[in-house]
Structures are given as structure tokens and as C-alpha cells.
Structure 1
Amino acid sequence: MIYRADTGLAAFFTVVAAAVQLVLLFCLWQGLLDMQRDAGITPPAAPAAGALLLWYILLYVAAALFASLSLLLGAYLVWYFYLVVRLKKLSKSMAAQGCAIKPIKERFSNHKLVGSLLTVLAVVIACGFLFFGSYRMDWTPKETSTDAQVIEAYERLLALGYPESELNDLSDEDLLTCLRAERVLVRECTGGGYTNYNGKSQANDAFHMTIVAVERPFGRLFLSYHFRWDEGSHFYGTESFAVEPNYDIGSWLAEEFSGRVFYDSPDGTTYTAPYIDPGTEQASLSNWYINCFKQIYCADVSFPNDGTNQRGYVACALSNNIDEFTKFEGLFYYVHQNGRFQYPVKTARDYQDFNVNRPLLYNAPFERVQDYFVLFQNEDGVLNIH
């Protein structure tokens, strides 16, 4: 199932639609000329039809060149209505000269045609919501590493207090990053900040978040954000997970992001997959009096409903050492789709934007859970998490 837009495929269909439109207009132009020839009108002429074809060509060229169509809107509208008037006069003139178009026998009434088209449209829309509302995930069975260093890192983190269920999800690369771990700090987050866009019953009680900070040699830190859903949670389309790692002066502090998602199948097999479109984005915090943005790391996923223990994590290594900041604030945002039907159609990532409370987005089938944690040094220089 594919939800996200394929830009190459979208561009192809756009070009095809434009080409079909131009071919139809060309056929109209040539058809008018042929009718005049058949009626003995010489020389045949249909300048309005040719100009209409030129109008569409220039419109497509302007769009392809990213021209500001708003500046040309007035001129385009005047020209368009002028062409329509000229075409109407041309049809009357041709009718007066014996070129009247004879209506063919009606084979399909307008009511039946409209009803059939509406039925097809309704079926297509329903199929889109039911079968094409999710990302295509690359699920593969989870493998257990046999590498000696990976096992050593795993056992070291477990001994330092890394929660076992979350530790089992770390990739070999992330485990090796923490091979020389010195200390582990853990905080359970409850998702205190909550936004529900459609008034449905809250599902954030079924969502659990665990933050783990690993101190490494030379004051370096490794952070992992683990989330999981309780059994019985339902998934209708897209999910989006975002983190925002900043320290006390508001600077971006993270590098080398990693992570993946999991679920357990009914037969007990654990499947894993990479996130969809992971990467940093600018989230808008703008309103009527100020325009500003914040940088967040986003990653998307679609979970199957026939599994359990849907979960995942995002991890990052910090680019600065502990001594270079007094306080580190880590925020996370999880957007969950709690319904299938929506208009306009949006993905969960669209709701990572903080300016979603607009009229068209009210009653959308999404809810957002957010919370934060703080890493700080006490008077003795010991790192704590709150």
C-alpha cells in the first residue's frame, strides 16, 4: 500500500494530462477547418480555436517555468473569455453557412451518465481510503547478532540498567556506538502534552515512551527515544515520530540519527523495517504576529493491525560533550492516525507542523502526543535526567 506521493509518477501523469488536453484542442481546431472545407468555405479559418490552443500552451509553459501566475491572472482571464466569445461567433457563422453540427442520437442520458460517473468516483475514493492509505513498509524478520563485540556491548548496557525490552531493539551499529558505555540514565515519559483533532476518545494512554541517555567516554552522549503501543491499539494509515534535541542556548545538538520500527506477528515472529523518509525538517511555529520555525527530525511509519507490540525507536549521538552545556532539552512528538476517512487527505507528518489548527484541518483523524525530558548537571557535575 502506498500513501506518499511519488513525484516522478505524479509528474508523468501531469505531462500526460497536459498532452491529452493539447491534442483535444488541436483536434477541435482541425475539425472546424475540415467542416469549413466540406461546406466549400475557402479559405477555411478558425483563429479562435487556434488561439485557444496557444493559450493552453503558454499556460503550461508558464507553470513549467514556475512563473507567478497570479501576476498574469487578469490578462489570462480576459484573453480566455475573449476566445470563448470568438468561438461562439464562429459557430454561429458556420451554422449560417451550412456547417451546423447535427446532434447524434442520444444513447446514454445525462442523468445516467452523471450517476455512473459519481458511482465510479465513490468506489475509487472508497478504495483509496481502504487500500491506499498506508506506506509500503519493507518488513523483514528480525535477526539476532552473533558478533562478539555486539554481544559485549549488549551485556554492558544491560548491566548498567538499560531496559531489556528496549535494548533488544537496538541495531548492531547503535550497540557498537555504546561499546564503552559508562553510565545509563532512564526516564519514562507519559505524553503529558496532548492534541486531539477530531474529538475521539484519547489513545495516548496506550502509548508509552522511554528515554535512555548513555554516557560514553570523553563526555559524549548517546540518546535513544523508544516508543511502543499497547496490545489492542488500532492503526489506520500513517504515523509520524519526531524528536527535537536542543541544549540551553537553543542550538541543534544531534548528529548521526538512526532507528527502526518493529511489530510481533501472530506466529511470534518479530518483524522490523526502516522508517519512511527519515530526515530533518523545518516545522512552522508561525502565527499572526510572528514568523519562526524549529528544526525537528521526522520519521514516518505504517503499522499492520494483525500484529502486536508495535514499537520503534530513534537514536542520535550528540555532537557536543557534556561539559559544553548546562542543560539539554529533548522533545518528542508522535502523531497517530485514529481514523481512516479524512478530507483534505493528509499524512501524519503534515500534523508535525504546529500550525495545523486551520479551518480545513479541524476534525481530522489524528492525535498528537508530546513530552520532553531534561538532562542537566548538578553541583558536583553529575549528569541527571528529569
Structure 2
Amino acid sequence: MNAQPLPQPNSYSFTAPTPWRKSMGHVLLGMALCTLTLRFLWLDYLLPAIGMVLSLWGFRALRRENNWFQGCFVLAVLKISVTVPILIGNTTVLPEMLRDTPIPFALTVLGTLLPLAEAFCLWRALCAAQCAVNRPPHARAAALLTLWYAFLIILALMQASSLLLVGGFFVIYFVLLHRVKRLVTELGTAGYAVCPAPVRVSDGQIALALSAVLVLGGGLGYLFGGSVPMDWHAMETSDEHAEIRAHLLELGFPEAVLNDLTPEDLAACDGALRVAVHTAEYPARLNQSPYMDSHDEYTVKELRLTGVGVQLPGERERWMIFHHFAWLVDPAFYGVESLHILPAYYTGGWNPDGKPTGQVLYDRDGRTFAAPYYALDHQTTHAQDFFGSVRTAPSIFASFSLPKQSARCRGYVAYPIAETVNIPTIVYSSLNYTHQRGWIQYPVVADPAQRGSYWNQNSLFLTIQNILRFYSTESGIDVLS
């Protein structure tokens, strides 16, 4: 804390900012950028990061003025220390792997409370600065700014989404920032001046060092952290369930799919009555649509999707549904592949009769390796239609990664269903395979439920759909293309 007489006006004092105004200018601009949310061109990450650096610059110069400014500086360092690992972690699948741990919640709480604590310390620091120039220590604008951050937390907990409410709230925020800026100017006019704390590292060097850490960490994240861990093991040939296998082949079960089934899924088809099959091949390269129009015929098709229904014995009509994918070429795998299945019980008439199962496979050096999916489970998705109504739908999601040096990459998901009513009902099961066609995405999205459907052929992700539809009668099975 250092109060000095007001300097005599001269040309220099009106053209160059004082250290006090310059430091507080960095602080206020940094706070504004940290609060501003623009969700395009990654500005929701870039602007807060720049804002934190500016706040660090400002509080770094003021940290010896009083204990409250020192507290602001410590909080600014803590914010950057938390944010930098998060920004680097967003180039990996680590956030997805930590999703069910307490860490995301702890980081959310910390990220919410730190700005509030920083605003409180700034208010008390400005009150101390007013005392230094014999002014009443109130700093009302800074006090209201602290309350604004407290109300922001309340609105977030209430999940307020009114555009008018949120817009008005941010107008108040920038009005309060302007009032704090006026207070800073008044303090400077009243004679408050600072001597910036001596430093060995300049502000520019700090910014360059942080940028280097982000670029290097992000590059390493994209290179080594973009894939989920898989429990690969070499498959051994076995004659187990040979009779079941031969019977399925006789019914028309595709041999290429049958070869990839686990012994448990093969055994589940014991006593099969009938088989329904639908298979199709699709292009999956960049700038190639997975669908053909009446004028174009794509000659190169890289992905084969096959749907198989196996009718099982029992008093009720029961089916085992298989969705199988097989890459016909090496498409280059950049991260996490995902499957989204709308099961037959999505449309009614059927109930789930067990849990989904399956595995992923690839070949290397004449051997076949298999692994369970990284994630394979039921989830309930919510979608809002044009009229604002929210529909819930049962879904099966699966995610996995494949090695860079692999061939004949393939896999499947199977699930059993049973009829709910004793009348013929169409079986409608849809597979959406989402393929990642490049590295550049930020943040990395590994959860298939958050990816949605990417039908745009120029997108980083491409979703290809295959639908198994068939109608079962006493006379046979009618597969609908």
C-alpha cells in the first residue's frame, strides 16, 4: 500500500496510463473475458484463457499493495493452474474416463467458487485502496459485483434459461464493471499510485510459456490420448458349439458374422428356428456421402453393415438381434468409434429380454485379436421435436478404439427381445455407426451419447445407418429393405 501526492498535470500524464490504471485495466478486462461466453470458433475456451492471463498480469503488479490484492494474485494463479490441465485434458479421452468419478464435480465447484472469491478479494482490496487516500472504504460497485457472482451461481443451480433474464443479467454485469473502472479512475485522481512489484519474468514471457505448455500438451494429447483403452487378447480357434454353428449356417446366418461371435452369443442361439438378414455396403471416405442418389453410383465402398435376426424357441416369440460392422479397407482410425442402436423395443411391441453383448476384432500377422467394448450399455436419450415436446427413447450405445496397425477391423452388438403381445409385430432395429475421420476436434468427444448423429459428409464425424426390418409370419420372414 503506497499513497503518493497527486502528480502535477503534464502532457505525459494525459497520454500514458499509470501503473495503477494499467494493472486494473488488465484485471477488469480479464474478468470480462472470463465471464463472456461465445460458443463458436472455440471462443468459449480462448476468451476465458486470455482473460485469466490478463488478470494474472494485473494482480501480479498489485500483489504487494495490500493483503487482499495478494489474495487476488493467489486466486489468479490457482485459476490458471486448474485451467491449463483442463484445456490440455480436453485433447484426450481423459474427461470421458473420469466422468463417473468425483473429479468433474470437484472441478465444477472449484471453477464456480473461484470467480466469486476473486470478486470478494477485489472488493476488499479496493476498500483498502480507498482508505489509503482517506476515502470512505465502501467500493459499492465492487461489492455489487461480488453479489452478482453469487446470484450467477444461484441462477446456474436453478438452470435459468430465459434469454431476457440472462441477457439483462449480463447487461448489469458490464454496467458494474464500468462503475468499478470509474472507481479506479477516481482513486488515481485522488492520488493513489502503485509501484509495480519487481519481477524476473516479464508478462510477455509468462504468456509465451503458458502458450508453449498448451501447444505441447495439446499436441501430445492428440497423439497419445485420443483412444480409449481396450483389453485385447488373441482368439483361439475352437470347435465348441459346432452343431449350433452348422445349424445357423443352414438357416442362412452369414458366415462372416458367425465367425466373430463369442461362445456365449453362439450358445444363446441354440435351437434357432429362423434367420432374417439384411446387409449393405457404404462409402465412408471424406466428401463421399453414405447415400446414393438416382444419378450416382459409388464404386468404392469401405464399410459393410449387416443386421441379423435369429428367432429363438419359446412360448413367446423371441429374437436375438445382431448388428455387425466390417471395414473392407483400412480407413485410418483417429480416436474413438461409436455405435448407437435404436433397438426393436423402441417402437413398441417388444421388450428387452437381456443385456446387450458383443465384441470388437481385428487381424494382425495372421492372428485375430478381440476385446470387449470400452463401453456398452443401455441409455435413455431425450430429443425435443419441432413443437417443443420432449421424447424419450431407449438406446444402446457402444464405444471402442482400434490399433493403428490393424486389418479386417470388425465387431458386433447383440441383444435379445421378446414380444409383449401375442400378435405379429414388425421388428425394426437401427444401427448408426459414427466414424471419426480426422484428429482436429476440441474438446475431444468420446461419449457416443454426446456425439449425436453427424449426417454432414464434410463433418469430422460421419454417421452411416443400417436398418434391419422384417416381418415374421407362420409362412416365413419378409425382410423389408
Is 2:371 aligned against 1:272? Answer: yes
Which deviates the most, 94-103 or 298-307? Answer: 94-103
Q: Give distance in 2, aligned partners of 1:250 and 1:143.
A: 39
What is the identity, as a one-letter code, of the residue corresponding to 1:222? M
Distance 1:4 1:154, change over 3 A: farther
The aligned residue for residue 267 of structure 2 is 176
Aligned residue pairs, count? 374
Deviations 1:338-360 (A, max 9, x none): 21113675458369745x56xxx
1:251 matched residue in structure 2 = 348
| Alignment pair present for 1:237 and 2:330 | no
1:367–1:97 distance in 2 versus 1, CA, 3 Å: closer
Offset from partner CA, 1:278-336 (integer Å, 9 cap, x none) = 32444759569999786543322221222222211111222228973264344322121
Unaligned runs of 5+ in 2: 1-91, 291-297
Aligned to 2:149: 56
Counterpart residue type for residue 28 of structure 1: L
Matched, 1:12 2:106: yes
Provide the residue aligned with 1:372 in structure 2: 467
Q: 1:350 to 1:125 in 2, by over 3 A?
A: farther
TM-fit CA distance, 1:200: 5.8
Contact 1:285 1:294 in 2 (8 A): no
Map of 1:126 onto structure 2:
219
Structure 1 residue aligned with 2:83: none
> The residue matched to 1:86 in structure 2 has which SS?
helix
Instruction: Give secondary structure in 1 for the equivalent of 2:301.
Output: helix
Q: Per-residue CA shift, 1:3-39, capped at 9, x if unaligned?
A: 66344433222222233323333332333344445x3
Separation (CA, whole Å) in 1 of partners of 2:419 and 2:409:
32
Whichever residue aligns with residue 182 of structure 1, its letter is L
Counterpart residue type for residue 129 of structure 1: Y
Picking from 157, 165, 172, the partner of 2:248 is: 157
| Inter-partner Cα distance in structure 1 for 2:429 and 2:255 | 22
State the AA in 1 paired with 2:222. Answer: F
Please tell me whether residue 314 in structure 1 is matched to residue 413 in structure 2: yes
Structure 1 contact 241–300 (Cα < 8 Å) conserved: yes
- Aligned twin of 2:403: 304
| SS state at 2:348 partner | coil
TM-score by length of 2: 0.64
In structure 1, distance between residues paired with 2:446 and 2:221: 14
| Contact 1:284–1:353 (8 Å) recurs in 2 | no
SS in 2 for 1:190: strand
- 1:199 pairs, out of 273, 287, 290, with 287
Aligned position for 1:94:
187
CA distance in 2, matches of 1:366, 1:348: 13
Residue type matched to 1:166 in 2? V
Conserved 8 A contact 1:283-1:295: no
Summarize the Cα distance change of 1:72–1:169 in structure 2 as closer, same or farther, 3 Å threshold. same
How far apart are the structure 1 equivalents of 2:319 and 2:361?
Answer: 25
AA aligned opposite 2:192: C
Deviation at 1:236?
0.8
Q: Percent identity of the aligned residues?
A: 30
- What is aligned with 1:29? 123
Question: Are the structure 2 counterparts of residues 321 and 25 from structure 1 closer, same or farther at C-alpha, using a change threshold of 3 Å?
Answer: closer
> Bigger relative contact order, structure 1 or 2, given CA contacts below 8 A and separation 6+?
1
Cα separation, 2, equivalents of 1:72 and 1:296: 35
| Structure 1 consecutive aligned stretches of length 4 or more whose deviation exceeds 6 Å | 143-146, 201-204, 287-294
Q: What's the counterpart of residue 432 of structure 2?
A: 333
Query: Aligned equivalents of 2:439 and 2:167: distance in 1?
Result: 40
Deviation at residue 63 of structure 1 after TM alignment: 1.0
**Contact 1:22/1:57 (<8 A) preserved:** yes
- Return the letter of the residue paired with 1:215: Q
- Aligned equivalent of 2:178, options 79, 85, 92: 85
For the residues of structure 2 that align with 1:70 and 1:24, how far apart are their CA atoms?
Answer: 27
Q: Is the 8 A contact 1:220 1:321 kept in 2?
A: no
More helix by share: 2
Are the aligned partners of 1:335 and 1:348 in contact in 2 as well (CA < 8 Å)?
Answer: no
Is there any run of 5+ residues in structure 1 with no aligned partner, and where?
A: none
| 2:439 maps to amino acid | R
Instruction: Summarize the Cα distance change of 1:83–1:259 in structure 2 as closer, same or farther, 3 Å threshold.
Output: same
Relative to 1, partners in 2 of residues 1:351 and 1:54: Cα closer, same or farther, differing over 3 Å? closer
Give me the CA root mean square deviation: 4.0
| Mapped partners of 2:162, 2:420: distance in 1 | 51
Q: Which residue number in structure 1 is paired with residue 160 of structure 2?
A: 67
SS in 2 for 1:84: helix
- Amino acid paired to 1:207: L
Cα distance in 2 for partners of 1:292, 1:17 equals: 33
Out of 190, 200, 211, the residue aligned to residue 307 of structure 2 is 211
Indicate the SS of the match to 2:419: coil
- Residues 52/292 of structure 1: CA separation in 2 closer, same or farther (3 Å cut): closer
